[in-house]
Structure 1
Amino acid sequence: MELGNVELERRIRAAITPMTDAGEPPGVAWSVSRGDETAVGAVGVTGPRDERPVTPETVFRISSTTKPVVATAALALLDDGTLGLDDPVERWLPELADRTVLRDPAGPLDEVVPAHRPVTVRDVLDFRLGIGLDFAGPWPGPVLQALADAGLGAGPPAPQSNPDPDTWIRTVASVPWSHQPGARWLYHVGAEVLGVLIARAAGAPLPEVLADRVVAPLGMAGTGFGIRPDQAGRLGPLWLPGTGELGAYDPADGQWSRPPRFPNGGDGLVSTVEDLHAFGAMLLRGGTATDGTRVIAKETIAAATQARVSTGDGSAWGLGLGVLTADAADGRRAGTYGWDGGLGSSLWIDPASDVVAVLLTNQMWPSPQPPAVFEAFWRAVWAAD
């Protein structure tokens, strides 16, 4: 069954509107393509006390959907030889030389052993560098607790809370790490380290490298680390989930309303549905922008979207993004790749169905499991399969 533009739009709107009518979330926007069919739209408002309509031009905090976008800048540096997957990162991040590792990942910080080898670029991209969130272990664990005590938060994104990149990487290097390089997939911190690595390797701040390598070639004018003055009014509040009257996690003039000291490669970007769709379509096309500009090589995309390490439940991690290894109940096929953000964002690219699907909302996820609006969106998009 083929869906035309009108039918695709109708399915998405019908699936999402009952939830926005109930205020869970207050507002959403989407941009979807299936082959030659497209649907771009929005429903709902910026919030219960700020009832401006959400539109496709609304700017959203995309949190962990930042990860694939920033990783693409690193992939571009792999293409031109600036980085190599097996290069030790201490070449650019000398702070990470001579790592020590906890004897027991849950044990005391003073019981350590030397790292058996240097951390490589590959380790950072596939999140096996030895530090990060262990979803199967205690929260936050001794290493992340030590970093929190040193001023690096382990909670939801808070871009104005971190120091500058040099101070940040020195702090991360000041504690022993939880696992040996290459031994275990640990979430998030690898993306933060990657942002510092990209800047050091390219010899320019991460926002400049990202703009040059990804944002400008794809015309992603609404994407950056915080909003620009000309975007004032396009970023609404971000709401906490719950019952009754919603509380704001971040107001419109809050932490994303200005550039941070630390441009966080793990969760720091704002963007729009059309910007993220342009990014996803570039990956689906094999690495080129609509005008033919080469962003990354087709072979690099193939390597990045290979399932390298299982993360459980039919999913895996590639080089800076997630990969489904089994068909999902919501219709997404094995081989679909992308990622979600806990502040209410989702980008998935399905080569088998020729789909790029972006959903952005203004409400934080209540748990690691996708809220109902995301499940409904995915089912509507993949309903023709």
Structure 2
Amino acid sequence: MIEPLPSAKPEEVGLSEAALNRLSAALNDRVASGHIPGAVALVARHGKVAYHQSFGRLDPASDAPMGTDAIFRIYSMTKAIVSVATMMLWEEGRLLLSDPISKFIPAFANTRVGVVSGDSYTLTAATSPITIQDLLRHTSGLTYEFRGTGPIHKAYGEARVARLKQTNADQVDELAGLPLLHQPGTVWEYSRSTDVLGRLIEVISSQTLGNFLSDRILVPLGMSDSGFSVPTADQSRIAEPFAKDPDDGIDVALLDIRRPAMFESGGGGMVATAMDYARFLGMLLGNGRLGATRLLGRKTVELMTSDHLGSITGAVDLLPPGHGFGLGFAVRTAAGMAPFPGSIGNYYWGGAAGTTFWVDPVERLYAALMIQAPVQREHYRLLFRDMVYAAVTD
């Protein structure tokens, strides 16, 4: 029997109800102005959910109100779940963080690095192999095709590495044949590294990624609405975006999650409700345990949420000042510097369609915001963070 997460009134856990009401007013105002179709926000402190509210419409094409049980495409918030799955295999001794990925996926044994010159590149040997640690912390040398316009990014696009009609094995074979953007271990570059980890999990476990995640994480934690697609019976709860972004008028097209996924992207293919993801965050804040269910040991969570970059830099648009990156999460390393509040040791990430989360071990707090508004995501990530921290009183 899966027990629901405990709840509390805001003041019982050191949060201001008046300040959280200001958050509600801000989100309601943005819905009323046509900036976002709807949202679900959740804040928990000291292990108790103190705020769980829905706003606006589930689908801008209908009048159905957003419910707190709405199902969202979480895109790159998938990465945190797949990173936890990888570390569960690490705890079982089935891999080392220093292992080269080619030990498990031989196609990566001969990976080359592209040396860009103008609109072309030449190939050179990698000076060190891509390790599993590199994949977890995004220092593999892989990239995303949308992260630039150079010849290597174009090669990714021409190879159609993001196509949905492929298996995880197909994609990884394609990626292994493409040039790396950087030498492994030298630059932080947001990338398809976690897709490779998804395939690694399949190779080690002899299960599909979806089945492994379901058996080992989703079912044990009670994340009943999470996965790589939405069953027919639950599709009336899918949150949808505007057809066109209200600011720049561009078309908005998100993943089709109404049919079973052939490609189970470890880097961005999952769906979840706010409460489902809260159960995952509660496990992390609980040092690997939620209630009677333990997925990871305390020291494993500590390792994952420590900075693994040190002097390694890169992609300043994604890693704000005063932040590094751990094994699956951005990690705050300085109390100041970044233009938003938090504590040293915070860890977080978000998804391309607008979802975001963070965990603050110092304040014993975690929060998740679910929206489906890709162009607006940066604004709401900051707004939500600012207004939740403004509610902390004790």
**TM-score, length-normalised on structure 2?**
0.87
Deviations 1:48-74 (A, max 9, x none): 322211111000011111111111111
Structure 1 20/3 Cα, relative in aligned 2: closer, same or farther at 3 Å? Answer: farther
Aligned positions of 1:186-335 closer than 5 A: 186-239=189-242, 240-243=244-247, 248-250=252-254, 255-290=256-291, 292-309=292-309, 310=313, 311-327=319-335, 328-335=338-345
Deviations 1:125-155 (A, max 9, x none): 11111111499xx8232222112112224xx
Deviations 1:315-369 (A, max 9, x none): 2211011112233443222211020112010110001111110000121135xx7
The residue number in structure 2 matching 1:157 is none
- Aligned partners of 1:241, 1:314: CA distance in 2, in Å? 31
- Aligned partners of 2:144, 2:168: CA distance in 1, in Å? 20
3-state SS of the aligned residue for 1:227?
Answer: coil
303-312 or 220-229, which moves further after superposition?
303-312
3-state SS of the aligned residue for 1:43?
Answer: strand
Structure 1 32/189 Cα, relative in aligned 2: closer, same or farther at 3 Å? Answer: same
3-state SS of the aligned residue for 1:171?
Answer: helix
- Aligned partners of 1:191, 1:267: CA distance in 2, in Å? 9
Identity %: 28
- Aligned partners of 1:85, 1:92: CA distance in 2, in Å? 12
Q: Report whether the alignment pairs 1:98 with 2:110.
A: yes
3-state SS of the aligned residue for 2:375?
Answer: coil
3-state SS of the aligned residue for 1:331?
Answer: coil
9-18 or 276-285, which moves further after superposition?
9-18
- Aligned partners of 1:184, 1:246: CA distance in 2, in Å? 32
3-state SS of the aligned residue for 2:253?
Answer: strand
List alignment gaps of at least 5 residues for structure 2. 1-10, 314-318
- Aligned partners of 1:51, 1:315: CA distance in 2, in Å? 41
Structure 1 182/232 Cα, relative in aligned 2: closer, same or farther at 3 Å? Answer: same
The one-letter code sitting in structure 2 at the alignment partner of 1:243 is D
The one-letter code sitting in structure 2 at the alignment partner of 1:60 is F
List alignment gaps of at least 5 residues for structure 1. 154-159
Structure 1 30/108 Cα, relative in aligned 2: closer, same or farther at 3 Å? Answer: same
C-alpha deviation, 1:227, in angstroms: 0.8
C-alpha deviation, 1:6, in angstroms: 4.4
Structure 1 200/351 Cα, relative in aligned 2: closer, same or farther at 3 Å? Answer: same
The residue number in structure 2 matching 1:70 is 82
Whether the 8 Å CA contact 1:223–1:272 is kept in 2: the answer is yes
**TM-score, length-normalised on structure 1?**
0.89
Whether the 8 Å CA contact 1:66–1:265 is kept in 2: the answer is yes
Aligned length: 369
Q: Report whether the alignment pairs 1:18 with 2:23.
A: no
The one-letter code sitting in structure 1 at the alignment partner of 2:171 is W
Aligned positions of 1:20-35 closer than 5 A: 20-35=31-46
Whether the 8 Å CA contact 2:20–2:388 is kept in 1: the answer is no
RMSD over aligned CA atoms reads: 2.3
Q: Report whether the alignment pairs 1:375 with 2:379.
A: no
